[in-house]
Structure 1
Amino acid sequence: MYKFLLRPLLFLFDPEKVHHFTFNMVKFLSKIPLVPSIFRSLYAVKGAKLQREVFGLKFENPVGLAAGFDKNAVLYNELANFGFGFIEIGTVTPKGQEGNPKKRLFRLKADQGIINRMGFNNEGLDAVIKQLKKNKGKLIIGGNIGKNTATLPENYTKDYLKCFRVLHPYVDYFVLNVSCPNVGSHAKLNDKEYLNELILAVQQENKTFEKQKPIVLKIAPDLNTNQLDEIIELVAETNLDGVIASNTSVTREGLKTPNTKIESIGNGGLSGQPIKNKSTEVIRYLSEKSNKAFPIIGVGGIHSAEDAIEKLEAGASLVQIYTGFIYEGPRLIKRINKALLSS
């Protein structure tokens, strides 16, 4: 129904407007008695074989929703009814910000991809905390944190620490987002020396809490092998809990969409099927080169159960979907979990 009826209709309109419309519809429908239980009966899959223990956390299944979809933590309780094992909210910055000028979200239908240059648009910490206080405890929540665009380089760490400190009681694990291509002056965030400093500062803050939370790093799919070796060294040196591979890509290789359209869209991060293989190879390299020394959350181009299994076989402990969720609909979660149950 989604792919043949709803998606063609939704794809007639601006992607960002459709995103907000869909949020409002799910919110509205979920307030109708019995509808949440209907969603669960249609999409949720249970089974001991699906359960995973990663970062010391127990996941009901390994399929999560990547950050960027529920930026302000307004829909995670409702989205839990679609069968996710975990949901990552954010990216959250200390202060709310508009992000980049619109139009900033583009579909590449021929490639089953998306280009975005949202620029960490979110309502800020206070608004997110207000929403997280409504958590009904249905599933694990990750907090993806970043810096404000206007923050000066010497204050980057302060932004991450503030987000970490305030969000700590409300999320189950943290993601340091240092690889988004859509925020200004992020070159420093790719420097190994600075990353070491940032991670150690956040870990020190973590120790001030009675219960410490896992901390993972989200990396780009465009890193070369030398850079990936540095990531492996960084994880070992800092005892980081894991890595998310990967964020969106700045490359435009092998696309079916005409170059004229790609050029008219301009800059932004590419997600979906076009980065599937690149993301998988990053996962495989990290897993094999480190001898599976740390957990990896695999994300990038998962549009089928086969895509998810490929990521898991490459070395991922968990997977996340985003663009695939938009193109394939909520049945994608069910298809992945059913395939894992029968494997």
Structure 2
Amino acid sequence: MIERAGAAALPLLRRLDAETAHRLTIGALALVPASALPAPAADDPRLAVEAFGLRFPNPVGLAAGFDKNAEAVDALLSLGFGFVEAGTATPLPQPGNPRPRLFRLPKDEAVINRFGFNGEGAARVRARLAARSRTARGVVGVNIGANKDAADRAADYARGVEELAAFADYLTVNVSSPNTPGLRDLQQADALDDLLARVLEARAHVAGRKPVLLKIAPDLSLSELDAIVACARRREVDGLIVSNTTLSRPAALRERELAREAGGLSGRPLFDLSTRMLAQAFLRAEGAFPLVGAGGIDGPERAFAKIEAGASLVQLYSALVFKGPGLPRRIVRGLSRILDERGLARIEGAVGSRAQDFAEGKAHGL
């Protein structure tokens, strides 16, 4: 029902400015009562993934940024996602950067955003997640960040853990958004080590040991990546998400005027850069923790390529703008088809099988 309605509304939504269309989409999904949502379809058991101590029915997730305030997680799970990541949630509400701040690049199937962690704050996110039915199924993570004017940003992340850990299946520490001034500086070795120490100390004081993931940028040098992975391994984080949006602008972009807008680029043009960084991270992690691949996924072949590059799970967001709400199920069905074609017993058997090729730039997007 939701998929059909969403597909029918897509032409109209594309005529609206991007942020208004997004807001209407979330608002409509939030109105669907849980009782009206279809029962989850049984996924191909070969696609199930065990990671971070959690079981995912399939490896295809919704990246943070789509449902910033956890308004519609159950409706989104009903589209066929194996997991949904809400947020980014900051301790206090904040408006983000001035509008316009979201731009479609239709010819490139790409998006530029400079939202700046706009959101209603951790308390509202916590209340919505707490109100979910006790019988609600599906893996829901929360992406956490710092307020723009925070004097101590590490303290904001620790507070996010304290407020949200009880109601999330996992937490993602987002230090890679390009739209909050200075935030990416937290990826530097000393700052990151202090941040992770404080985040993990906060986790130790809340009930349950919820997995903590770290989300990094695709624009890192390999020496910076070395330091980040070494820190993540030393602090024993549970996983790495590679990657956030990029500040770079590939030469092949066709929407030249829109490409000049400030902000992070996502969508199809991000695939090669993010997948190479994913593969490099996989080789450096040496199995210490699972990786989540994000950036440029718009079909089953690209999702599978991320897995071959080293991802145990994958996330998408921007492609929904161009491909519509039926995309998650199409990818999941396509992954089953690829397993048949490759003669693989389980999707996990493909993880990292071509990491070296992607790391060396010998494999590319489709």
Q: Report if TM-score (shorter chain) is over 0.5.
A: yes
SS of the equivalent of 1:106 reads: strand
Work out the percentage of aligned pairs sharing the same amino acid: 38
Q: Check if 1:308 corresponds to 2:307.
A: no
Shift of 1:188: 3.0
Kept after mapping to 1: 8 A contact 2:103/2:258: no
Tell me which residue corresponds to 1:9.
12
The amino acid across from 1:19 in the alignment is H
Shift of 1:211: 1.5
> 1:111-190 alignment to 2 at 5 Å?
111-136=108-133, 137-152=136-151, 155-190=152-187
Shift of 1:22: 1.4
The amino acid across from 2:147 in the alignment is N
The amino acid across from 2:107 in the alignment is A
Tell me which residue corresponds to 1:21.
24
Task: Give the RMSD, CA atoms, in angstroms.
Answer: 1.9
Tell me which residue corresponds to 2:323.
328
Greater Cα shift, 308-317 or 233-242: 233-242
Tell me which residue corresponds to 1:261.
258
Q: CA distance change for structure 1 residues 52 and 27 in 2, over 3 Å: closer, same or farther? A: same
> 1:254-293 alignment to 2 at 5 Å?
254-263=251-260, 266-293=261-288
Question: Normalising to structure 2: TM-score of the pair?
Answer: 0.86
| Distance in structure 2 (CA, Å) of the matches to 1:217 and 1:307 | 22
The amino acid across from 2:300 in the alignment is A
| Distance in structure 1 (CA, Å) of the matches to 2:17 and 2:146 | 28
Shift of 1:24: 2.4
SS of the equivalent of 2:77 reads: helix
Kept after mapping to 2: 8 A contact 1:105/1:114: yes
| Distance in structure 1 (CA, Å) of the matches to 2:115 and 2:296 | 19
* Deviation digits for residues 248-299 of structure 1 (CA, Å, limit 9, x no counterpart): 0000122433433323xx2100000010111111111111233333211000
Kept after mapping to 1: 8 A contact 2:61/2:83: yes
Q: Which runs of 5+ in 1 are unaligned?
A: none
Tell me which residue corresponds to 1:250.
247
* Deviation digits for residues 158-196 of structure 1 (CA, Å, limit 9, x no counterpart): 111111101011001111000100012225312111101
| Distance in structure 1 (CA, Å) of the matches to 2:122 and 2:230 | 32
TM superposition outliers: structure 1 runs of 4+ over 6 Å: 1-4
The amino acid across from 1:138 in the alignment is R
Kept after mapping to 2: 8 A contact 1:82/1:333: yes
SS of the equivalent of 2:182 reads: coil
Question: Normalising to structure 1: TM-score of the pair?
Answer: 0.92
SS of the equivalent of 2:93 reads: strand
Kept after mapping to 2: 8 A contact 1:45/1:334: no
| Distance in structure 2 (CA, Å) of the matches to 1:258 and 1:46 | 38
Tell me which residue corresponds to 1:223.
220
Shift of 1:122: 0.3
| Distance in structure 2 (CA, Å) of the matches to 1:211 and 1:317 | 23
* Deviation digits for residues 220-250 of structure 1 (CA, Å, limit 9, x no counterpart): 0111211111122112211111100000000
Q: Check if 1:96 corresponds to 2:99.
A: no
Q: Which runs of 5+ in 2 are unaligned?
A: 340-366
Q: CA distance change for structure 1 residues 187 and 313 in 2, over 3 Å: closer, same or farther? A: closer
Kept after mapping to 2: 8 A contact 1:222/1:250: yes
The amino acid across from 1:71 in the alignment is K
SS of the equivalent of 1:89 reads: strand
* Deviation digits for residues 19-63 of structure 1 (CA, Å, limit 9, x no counterpart): 1111222334x24975x22xx57xx45122121110011111111
Kept after mapping to 1: 8 A contact 2:162/2:206: no
